[in-house]
């Protein structure tokens, strides 16, 4: 971790120096000031995680300074120090928000102990925040925010399905959120403490998909240098999510059906049957009934997977949710990148409401992420969305296809390059079209070597 940033507030120069030396030896990054006003000023300009505050700052009572420091920096850990230590003073300091109390004279060991405690608390908080972020990424609540009766019915069905022990089939267009729904099903099920394993069926060849699903034995094929468990075994006790199940080749459909029926599997190259104890969730954007009629999907596999079906409505049928989701995604992105949450101008809200959203929730989410990053915390204008007309909307859909798979930084760079090209390198006009200030535009151009 980076050095702990510490603020020392004491009106005695010798104490400031001694305390700074002790803290620097403990690996801290120290800023020392002699007054409460100076402390408040520096807190407004840079963040600190720990402060040592003398409770006698000349004529100022340090106890009264504690709530002022916390008002500027609510996460600040404050340690009160004084030569006039009494039990009552310590209690009062803690009541006002201090986390600890060190009497003068103090030793380097005492200071080091305080730093270690705060550093440990900081590390724990970071670990918790990281786990919360992982959970949030796994099941992003914003993606399921809704005021739509259709979507509420989906979520009610989801709650019932999570308690069941039958295969679940998720249907809907690309981008409607079938993957998010699958993760939510797992998170609400009795299997949530066990693995959630994803197999993206269209991305693998038939040979690789068989090995990916069922595992293989050493020597089963070229490159099989050891026995390897497949995704089905990895999901034991948990959930196996087969994304785009309609893309599985016919030969593998037979093997998958056997697993679903017998609840056993054979690794590729093996004759040994292994038990299967996982929940199957599948998703597709295909018309599976047509696939069955055309012979591209086995009817018995379809009936096995279609025990309980949940259909995700397209975003254009969830008009009540468009602005709700846009605001949630904007808030989510601003928090992730440490920006101020931007506000949508009325014209931008109208553009969002009237667009057709062929890419559904995924398209909306990607668009909002891009414009929030470009806004730098400023208001989001309709011009930045490129959705004000059907022509512009079609252009945005084409742009989304071109940007698919890009990192946010590369997408941002491409949007800036396009804006500069449209405006013949007029920075002010390009900034206006993207809904950002000229200063933000110049900063982004410099970052990407476009200035």
Q: Answer whether residue 270 shows pLDDT above 70.
A: yes
Q: Tell me the C-alpha distance between 444 and 411, whole Å.
A: 12
Q: What's the helix, strand, coil split of the chain in %, to 5?
A: 55, 15, 30
For the segment 359-411, what is each residue's pLDDT rounded down to a tens digit?
999 999 999 999 998 887 789 999 889 874 444 444 445 555 555 566 667 77
Task: Please name every residue paired with 9 in a beta bridge, in sequence order, or none if there are none.
Answer: 33, 53
pLDDT in the model for residue 447: 81
Any idea of the CA torsion for 297, 298, 299, 305, to the nearest 10 degrees? Answer: -80
Q: Which residues on neighbouring strands pair with residue 41, listed in sequence order?
A: none
Tell me the domain boundaries of the chain: 5-135, 141-313, 317-447
Phi, psi of 107 (to 5 degrees): -110, 160
Of 302 and 106, which is predicted with more confidence? 302
Q: Which two tokens stand for residue 350?
A: 């109208």
What is the pLDDT averaged over residues 151-171? 91
Average pLDDT over residues 53-67: 89
Output the six-digit token pair for 149: 């009766």
In this structure, what token pair is assigned to residue 162?
């999570």
Tokens standing for residue 253: 């459909």
Would you state the pLDDT for residue 395?
46
Share of the chain above pLDDT 70, in %: 88
What does the alpha-carbon distance between residue 380 and residue 125 come to, in Å, rounded to a whole number? 33
Question: Mean pLDDT across the stretch 172-195?
Answer: 90
> How many angstroms separate the CA atoms of 262 and 272, rounded?
14
What is the structure's pLDDT at 404?
58
The pLDDT of residue 87 is above 70: no
The CATH superfamily of 141-313 is: P-loop containing nucleotide triphosphate hydrolases (3.40.50.300)
Closest by CA position to 19, among listed 54, 69, 64, 45: 54
Give CB contacts under 8 A, 24+ apart, made by 90-99.
92/63, 93/55, 93/63, 93/66, 96/63, 96/66, 96/67, 97/66, 97/67, 97/70, 98/53, 98/66
Q: Which two tokens stand for residue 392?
A: 């512009």
Nearest by Cα to 111 from 120, 98, 102, 119: 102
Per-residue pLDDT band for 301 (boundaries 50, 70, 90) equals very high
Contact partners, residue 146, CB within 8 Å, separation at least 6: 152, 155, 318, 320, 321, 324
In CATH, what number does 5-135 get? 3.40.50.2300
Distances from the Cα of 213 to the Cαs of 9, 110, 312, in angstroms?
Answer: 61, 57, 26
Flag the least confident range among 111-125, 172-186, 308-322.
111-125
Tell me the three state secondary structure of residue 193: coil
Return the pLDDT at 211: 85
Q: Determine the topology of domain 317-447 in CATH.
A: Helicase, Ruva Protein; domain 3 (1.10.8)
pLDDT of residue 130: 52
DSSP three-state, residue 217 = coil
Burial class (CB in 10 A: 0-12, 13-18, 19+), 239: buried
Instruction: Give this prediction's pTM.
Output: 0.57
Three-class secondary structure assignment of 85-109: CCHHHHHHHHHCCCCEEEECCCCHH
Mean pLDDT of the chain: 84
Q: What is the mean pLDDT of residues 294-301?
A: 91
When pLDDT is averaged across residues 256-265 and rounded to a whole number, the result is: 92
Cα separation, 258 vs 300, in Å, equals 10
Per the CB < 8 A criterion, the answer to whether 150 and 318 are in contact is yes
pLDDT at 311 over 70: yes
**What pLDDT score does 390 carry?**
44
User: pLDDT higher for 329 or 137?
Assistant: 329
As given in the structure block, the two tokens for residue 348 are 């931008």
Q: Which of these ranges, 66-80, 212-226, 294-308, has the smallest mean pLDDT? A: 212-226
Residue with the bigger pLDDT between 137 and 447: it is: 447
Residue 197's DSSP bridge partners are 240
> What is the torsional sign of CA 218, 220, 223, 228?
negative
Most confident among 103-107, 206-210, 441-445 (mean pLDDT)? 103-107
Please check whether the two domains, 141-313 and 317-447, share a CATH topology. Answer: no
What is the per-residue pLDDT for 131?
47
Average pLDDT over residues 81-102: 79
């Amino acid at each position: 971790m980076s050095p702990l940033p510490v603020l020392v507030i004491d009106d005695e120069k010798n104490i400031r120096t001694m305390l700074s030396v002790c803290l620097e030896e403990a690996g801290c990054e120290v800023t020392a000031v002699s007054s409460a006003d100076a402390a408040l000023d520096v807190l407004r300009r840079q963040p600190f995680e720990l402060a040592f505050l003398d409770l006698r700052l000349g004529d100022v009572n340090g106890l009264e300074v504690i709530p002022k420091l916390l008002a500027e920096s609510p996460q600040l850990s404050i340690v009160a120090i004084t030569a006039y230590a009494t039990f009552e003073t310590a209690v009062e300091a803690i009541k006002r928000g201090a986390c600890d109390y060190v009497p003068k004279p103090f030793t380097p060991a005492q200071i080091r102990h305080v730093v270690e405690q705060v550093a440990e608390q900081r590390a724990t908080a970071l670990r918790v925040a990281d786990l919360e972020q992982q959970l949030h990424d796994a099941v992003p609540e914003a993606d399921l925010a809704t005021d739509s009766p259709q979507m509420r019915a989906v979520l009610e069905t989801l709650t019932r399905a999570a308690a069941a022990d039958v295969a679940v089939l998720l249907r809907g267009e690309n981008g409607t959120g079938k993957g998010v729904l699958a993760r939510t099903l797992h998170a609400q099920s009795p299997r949530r403490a066990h693995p959630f394993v994803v197999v993206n069926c269209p991305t693998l060849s038939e040979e690789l998909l068989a090995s990916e699903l069922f595992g293989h034995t050493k020597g089963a094929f070229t490159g099989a240098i050891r026995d390897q468990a497949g995704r089905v075994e990895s999901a034991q006790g948990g959930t196996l999510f087969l994304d785009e199940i309609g893309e599985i080749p016919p030969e593998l459909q037979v093997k998958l059906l056997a697993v679903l029926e017998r609840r056993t599997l054979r690794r590729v190259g093996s004759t040994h049957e292994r038990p299967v104890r996982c929940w199957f969730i599948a998703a597709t954007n295909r018309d599976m009934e047509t696939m069955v009629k055309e012979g591209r999907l086995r009817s018995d596999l379809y009936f096995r997977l279609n025990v309980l079906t949940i259909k995700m409505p397209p975003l254009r049928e969830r008009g009540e949710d468009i602005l709700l989701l846009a605001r949630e995604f904007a808030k989510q992105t601003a928090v992730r990148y440490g920006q101020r949450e931007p506000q949508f101008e009325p014209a931008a809200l109208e553009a969002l409401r009237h667009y057709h959203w062929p890419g559904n929730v995924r398209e909306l989410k990607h668009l909002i992420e891009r414009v929030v990053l470009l806004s730098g915390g400023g208001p989001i204008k309709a011009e930045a969305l490129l959705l004000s007309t059907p022509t512009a909307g079609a252009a945005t859909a084409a742009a989304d296809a071109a940007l698919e798979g890009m990192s946010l930084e590369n997408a941002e760079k491409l949007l800036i390059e396009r804006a500069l090209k449209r405006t013949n390198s007029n920075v002010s006009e390009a900034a206006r079209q993207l809904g950002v200030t000229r200063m933000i535009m110049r900063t982004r151009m410099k970052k990407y070597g476009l200035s």
